[in-house]
Amino acid sequence: MQPRSKNSVEIEAEREFLSDEEVVARTRSGDTAVFELLMRRHNQLIFRALRAILKDDAEAEDVLQECYVRAYEKLHTFRGEARVSSWMTRIGVNLALDRLRKRGRTVSLEPSSIEVSNTGTPEDASATRELNRLLESAIDALPAPYRSVFVLREVEGLGTQDTADSLGIESATVKTRLHRARAHLRKDLYARVGVTAPEVFRFGGERCDRVVASVLAKLSANRR
C-alpha cells in the first residue's frame, strides 16, 4: 500500500513544530521557505534589541530586514554555539552599531515583574497606554549599554546567557548592567509604577507581515 502523500496544510503544520536548529538545517538543505519561521518567531525579540540601540522604530525595522538577509546568507557559518535567536540578534546588533558608527555616533556595548491590571474599561486602557509610554521613555533615557541589557532581560525575558550571547558580552556584565539599569529606572519611574512591561516596544501583526514579505522578496531577488 502506497503511503498517503501529505497535503499543504499538514506540511505547514509540521513545519510549525520544527526547532530553530531544524529550520536552519532544512534551509541549508534547500527548503528555503521554512526560513520564514525564524523571522516570525524572533521578529519582536530582534526588533526590541535593535530599537534599544537605535531608539527609532523605523530605523530598527530597516535594520531588522537587513539582519535577516545577512543571517540567511550566513546560515552556513552557524555552528550551534549559541541559540539561533541569539546568533541572529548578534548579527542585528552589529549592523545597528555599524549604522551608528557611519553617522559618527558610537555606542559601546563593552564598557520582578508586576503586571498592569486591566479591568477592561476605557479609562483603564488609557491608563495602561500612558504607563507603557512613560516606561518606554524611561527606558530610552537609560545609557545605551544598560538599555540593551534591560530590554532583552526584563522586556523580552531572555536569560542571562542568551542576553550575553546576543550582545557579545560576558554573563557577569549582563548581571551588573541589569542591576544598574534597574537602579536608574527606580529613580524616576520603576519604583513608582512597579512594572517591567512586556507590552513596550511591541512588534507584530501588520508590521511583522511587512518585514517578512520584504525580506522574502529580497531573498528571492538575490537568488535570480
Question: What digits encode the pLDDT tens for the residues 39-62?
Answer: 999 999 999 999 999 989 999 999
Q: Is the pLDDT of residue 71 over 70?
A: yes
CB 156 within 8 A of CB 45: yes
Angle between helix axes 205-223 and 57-73 (nearest 10 degrees) is: 40
Cell numbers representing residue 125 in the block:
486602557
For residue 1, tell me if it sits in a domain.
Answer: no
For residue 5, tell me if it sits in a domain.
Answer: no
**How many domains does the structure of the chain reveal?**
1
Q: Using one digit for the tens of pLDDT, what is the confidence trace for 169-199?
A: 999 999 999 999 988 887 766 555 555 455 5
For residue 119, tell me if it sits in a domain.
Answer: yes
From residue 73, alpha-carbon distances to 10, 32, 68, 88, 131 in Å are 28, 11, 9, 11, 40
Q: Is the pLDDT of residue 121 over 80?
A: no
SS3 content of the chain, % helix, strand, coil (to 5): 70, 0, 30
Percentage with pLDDT > 70 across the chain: 74
Cell numbers representing residue 131 in the block:
504607563
Domain that holds residue 191: 18-223
CB 148 within 8 A of CB 167: yes
Give the mean model confidence (pLDDT) for residues 188-213. Answer: 67
Question: In angstroms, rounded to a whole number, what is the distance separating the alpha carbons of residues 119 and 212?
Answer: 34
pLDDT at 13: 61
Question: In angstroms, rounded to a whole number, what is the distance separating the alpha carbons of residues 165 and 59?
Answer: 23
Which residues have a Cβ under 8 Å from the Cβ of 108 and sit 6 or more positions away? 144, 145
pLDDT at 117: 37
Residue 152: which CATH number? Answer: 1.10.1740.10
The angle subtended at Cα 76 by Cα 73 and Cα 79, nearest 5°, is 130
Give the mean model confidence (pLDDT) for residues 123-135. Answer: 60
For residue 11, tell me if it sits in a domain.
Answer: no
For residue 90, tell me if it sits in a domain.
Answer: yes
For residue 140, tell me if it sits in a domain.
Answer: yes
pLDDT at 139: 85
pLDDT at 168: 92
For residue 13, tell me if it sits in a domain.
Answer: no
Percentage with pLDDT > 90 across the chain: 43
For residue 8, tell me if it sits in a domain.
Answer: no
